[in-house]
Amino acid sequence: MHMADALLSPAVGATMWAAAAVAVGHCSRRIRSEDDERRVPLMGVLGAFLFAAQMINFAIPGTGSSGHLGGGLLLAILLGPHAALLVMASVLIVQALFFADGGLLALGCNIVNLGFFPAFVGYPLYRRLAGSAPGAARSGIAVVVAALLSLQLGALAVVLETVASGISALPFGTFVLFMLPIHLAIGVVEGVVTAAVVSFVRAARPGMLPSVAPSGGPVTGVALAFLAAALALGGVGAWGASKDPDGLEWSIARITGATGPDAPQTAVHAALGRFQQQAALLPDYGFRRPDGAAAPTPEGQGAPGDGASGDRLGTSVAGVVGGAITLLLALLVGLVLRRQARRA
Amino acid sequence: MSAPAVLAGLLDFRRLDLLAAEDSALHRLDARAKLVVALAFVVCVTSFGRYAVAPLLPYFVFPIAVAAAARLPAARLSRQVALLLPFALLIALPNPLFDREVLLRVGGVGIAGGWISLVSILLRALLAAAAALTLVAVTGFPAICGALERLGMPRQLAVQLLFLYRYLAVLGEEALRMTTARELRGGGRPLSLRLYATLVGRLLLRTWDRAGRIHLAMCARGFVGDFRSGERSRFGRREIIYVAGWCGLFLLLRTQDPTHRLGAALLRLFQ
């Protein structure tokens, strides 16, 4: 359920980076103030444990497919929510870097989807449902319910992030109707596995799991930051309905001043549009105008759209030819650099 | 996942890690410069509209040039990147289903927007993966952690990342031993859920005990809650040139649409 760079726009990615940074900062301060240095190696090794556990797959009964542990909720039960979020963030960073799972820009999304929801929504729910000294059955049910809710929220967040980015063509309704039921099933499996591991540990070593229930209190700061991010994302989502992410990002950049160096300038756009109309393309290769309202071009051919449509640039034949050439040039640069590196 | 698959995952990790131990001018650059450039790269690539295909192609120059200048094994890295294509295809496939508006006509055949955006998503996935893998291969994980911390990441997370990195291989091998042992005794049956919980529970208990031993050993060596790295590299002139050069190129490619200009010029030549 990793969110991927390929479906993400910079505006959404940056928003979620900010939300994840707030959450990570809050949890780090909290861990530092608790000053339990015994926990430092424990957190580190548990992160590695989660990696190892995810490498082992199990058979999902009755389906013939296999699954593996997500682990956010398990970590929260073992370590408490703050440490769990940091461990989850570290696992996601390693996955993004070494296995290109998710990606650099999607890191914020993934920390929120897979770290924040289990630790700060699922875990408090588990504590409330399980009470202070739960029996095996009650604890198991509490774990399953909490895992279900965490995964539903995570899946919903993936849908929102994808739709707000506007790269995928999936409509919101279809995507939700697809993702939520699937993650209902995944959530049940995750919950059952987590409950089984927790009950195994409880039976094998009763003192290991923390029995205190300090669930209330200073999660509000994180919750508020998250709410702000959700609102920002909702704002982006409203714009995302337009098929012109360029303009979308530009307007976001104007509002927040916080996006990267990618914001296209209108002057450049206009100049390129003029340039494009002057450089008449091959006959018969061109775009249908998106709204059909535009007048025919002087030559009477299907010419590339004007500056108003943001998509015409890349997909013309000239673009494809030029793209192939630049790709060859890139390879050539690589060859030359390699030769120089050998000589050095 | 079977034991060979666990092993393959571990090997991928180790191999990428070993590349960072090589030496080149790129390896010697301050990690912050390489991190910033990789982030700028991903932001530029993802900032294109849904139907951008050709404008994305010039961006391949970045991973190719880095791999060449740092003498990375291009074939192996390309294979690792290409292995992600099936997943990218999976998330891109809805586009042709839902976006059927014909955007491009080649001869008499109309090509729906969905197919164009599918190709765009595949290219984005390749570029993003290549950026991440080359970043690790020329920088190394500990240096990336150091750079992240010097760029403002909380120390707690940096320490956590270094611990995770240190014990990833250790616990991965432990998981490998467990899966191998079970496969030898299990006769090829898939792992049932109950057995999985026992297996992972065992692994968890061992991990927990190991953490206790590690803590004792570290206390004996004077551990006070964080790591001290030795020398700190400097963000000097080379780094400024590296960052400014690449970011400038990314911006140029983003705003000037060189592919279209080049292609149009060439087509006119042949008309």
Quick: pLDDT tens for B167-178.
888 888 888 888
Q: What angle do CA A40, A42, A44 make, to 5 degrees?
A: 75
- Average pLDDT over every residue of A283-296: 39
How would you classify the pairing of strands A66-67 and A286-287? Answer: unpaired
Residues 62-121 of B with CB under 8 A from A: 64-65, 67-71, 74, 80-81, 84, 87-88, 91-92, 94-95, 97-99, 101-107, 113-114, 116-117, 120-121
pLDDT value at position A302?
Answer: 38
- The percentage of chain A sitting over the pLDDT mark of 90, rounded to a whole number, equals 30
* For residue A223, pLDDT beyond 70: no
pLDDT value at position A282?
Answer: 35
* For residue A160, pLDDT beyond 70: yes
pLDDT band of residue A321 (cuts 50, 70, 90) is confident
CB atoms < 10 A from the CB of B107, how many? 7
CB atoms < 10 A from the CB of A227, how many? 11
Q: What is the DSSP letter of A6?
A: G
CB atoms < 10 A from the CB of B109, how many? 8
pLDDT value at position A309?
Answer: 40
Quick: pLDDT tens for A103-118.
899 999 999 999 999 9
Quick: pLDDT tens for A35-53.
777 788 889 889 999 988 8
pLDDT band of residue A13 (cuts 50, 70, 90) is very high
pLDDT value at position A70?
Answer: 84
Quick: pLDDT tens for B102-114.
877 777 777 888 8
pLDDT band of residue B120 (cuts 50, 70, 90) is very high
- Average pLDDT over every residue of B35-46: 95
The whole-angstrom distance between residue A10's C-alpha and the CA centroid of its chain comes to: 12
pLDDT band of residue A125 (cuts 50, 70, 90) is very high
pLDDT value at position A274?
Answer: 47
Do B247 and A53 lie within an 8 Å CB cutoff? no
CATH 1.10.1760.20 describes domain A5-256: yes
Mutant choice from B85, B259, B269 vs A, greatest count of A C-beta within 10 A:
B259
Instruction: Measure CB to CB from residue B157 to each of A28, A57, A340 and give the nearest one.
Output: A28
* For residue B115, pLDDT beyond 80: yes
Q: Which residue has the higher pLDDT, A328 or A79?
A: A79
pTM of the model: 0.80
Nearest CA in chain B to A282: B267
- Average pLDDT over every residue of A236-249: 43
Name every chain B residue with its beta carbon within 8 A of the beta carbon of A259.
Answer: 43
Do B105 and A104 lie within an 8 Å CB cutoff? no
The most confident of the ranges A306-315, B5-14, B144-153 is: B144-153
Do B159 and A342 lie within an 8 Å CB cutoff? no
pLDDT value at position A15?
Answer: 93
Instruction: State whether residue B227 is helix, strand or coil.
Output: coil
Tell me if chain A has a CB within 8 Å of the CB of B194: yes
pLDDT value at position A344?
Answer: 64
Q: What angle do CA A126, A128, A133 make, to 5 degrees?
A: 90
Quick: pLDDT tens for B67-82.
999 999 989 899 889 8
pLDDT band of residue B30 (cuts 50, 70, 90) is very high
Residues 260-319 of A with CB under 8 A from B: 260-265, 268, 272, 275-276, 279, 281-282, 284-288, 290, 302, 310-311, 313-319
Do B57 and A327 lie within an 8 Å CB cutoff? yes
pLDDT value at position B230?
Answer: 58
pLDDT value at position A157?
Answer: 93
pLDDT value at position A120?
Answer: 93
pLDDT value at position A222?
Answer: 55
Instruction: State whether residue B10 is helix, strand or coil.
Output: helix
pLDDT band of residue B50 (cuts 50, 70, 90) is confident
Do A170 and B98 lie within an 8 Å CB cutoff? yes
| Cα gap B94→A37, rounded to integer Å | 48
pLDDT band of residue A273 (cuts 50, 70, 90) is very low
| Predicted ipTM of the assembly | 0.91
Do B1 and A56 lie within an 8 Å CB cutoff? yes
pLDDT value at position B125?
Answer: 94
The most confident of the ranges A159-173, A286-300, B123-137 is: B123-137
Do B157 and A24 lie within an 8 Å CB cutoff? yes
Quick: pLDDT tens for A180-197.
988 888 889 889 999 999
* For residue B133, pLDDT beyond 50: yes
* For residue A159, pLDDT beyond 70: yes
Tell me if chain A has a CB within 8 Å of the CB of B25: yes
pLDDT value at position A131?
Answer: 81
Tell me if chain B has a CB within 8 Å of the CB of A28: yes
How would you classify the pairing of strands B102-106 and A286-287? Answer: antiparallel
- Average pLDDT over every residue of B36-59: 92
Q: Where are the domains positioned within chain A? A: 5-256, 266-343
- Average pLDDT over every residue of A185-212: 83
Do B39 and A104 lie within an 8 Å CB cutoff? yes
| Cα gap B58→B259, rounded to integer Å | 7
Tell me if chain B has a CB within 8 Å of the CB of A210: no
| Cα gap B6→B211, rounded to integer Å | 23
Name every chain A residue with its beta carbon within 8 A of the beta carbon of B17.
Answer: 98
Instruction: Measure CB to CB from residue B65 to each of A89, A324, A337 and give the nearest one.
Output: A337
Rg (alpha carbons) of chain A, rounded to whole number: 25
pLDDT band of residue A234 (cuts 50, 70, 90) is low
List the one residue out of A49, A67, A46 whose CA is nearest residue A58.
A67
* For residue B122, pLDDT beyond 90: yes
Q: Which residue has the higher pLDDT, A136 or A151?
A: A151
